[in-house]
Amino acid sequence: MVYAEIAEYKPLSRDLRGTWSSGSQQVLTGADRNDNVRFHSSSKANNQMFYNPYRKQFTVPRSAGISYSFLPSNGSDNEGFFEEARFQYQSDSQNPHCFSAQLIWLHGRYKYGRNNLATDMTLSAYPGDSMIQTITNPECTGGKSVETDVYTLDKNQEYIKNFTTFIENDAPYPQPGSNTKAMWGLQMYQFDGAPLAKMYLKYDPPQMLPTEQMFVQVIGVN
């Protein structure tokens, strides 16, 4: 986790570069930095990654959350590369014990200023680089957990209406041995103004998979 050194000269905002994660930061993009083996050649790496594009396989984190990583393009202040990981629950209002979980991964490019604003941006996944899997708990299926196949998500673009970075003076998960609890936070708002979960800076530079397109989308072929 990246902590801010608070001082009078410290700016109160920063660019988005880095890996941000909500809650207990169990959901993270990219491959685990403690795994020194390349993601596409090791079965060990599969256990360290939220989504392994080589195996087309998700690993369920220990808790729900979201994570975004951003890497500006060389020489550009308003566009770059992004990766997104989401692990979220959906409940059944008719049966509170019945719920499903969704694992979502997107990977592509971002660009600021769709509406000529400095604080809005559009995230566009590469064609084919947006995956989803749904897991239904046993209460919904007569005693057996059901996992759907991993398939391409129809939605491959996300609009962020507004975002802001800030310094959180009381970090929810202080770093062991650190003399400060201050850390960078990120609040993003969806297209309708609804806030996403607050995220905190975990890594800078970001923990991401390679920035080039991973899959080729084929349409009209069974």
For 33-61, give one letter per residue: b (16+ CB within 10 A) or e.
Answer: eeeeeebeebeebbebbbbbbeeeebeeb
Predicted pLDDT at 39: 39
Mean pLDDT of 41-49: 46
**Span of 92-106, 162-176, 200-214 with lowest mean pLDDT:** 162-176
**Tokens representing residue 45 in the block:** 């790496």
How far apart, in Å, are the Cα atoms of 126 and each of 67, 130, 150, 152? 18, 8, 17, 11
- C-alpha–C-alpha distance, residues 81 and 191, integer Å: 20
| Region 21-38 average pLDDT | 76
- Say what the pLDDT of residue 37 is: 37
When pLDDT is cut at 50, 70 and 90, the band that residue 173 belongs to is low
Instruction: Please state, rounded to an integer, the average pLDDT across all residues of the chain.
Output: 80
- Residues 162-170 have a mean pLDDT of 88
Interval 88-144: pLDDT, tens: 987 777 777 777 889 999 999 999 886 655 679 999 999 989 999 988 877 676 666
> Do the beta carbons of residue 215 and residue 27 sit within 8 Å?
no
In whole angstroms, give the CA distance from residue 103 to residue 81.
21
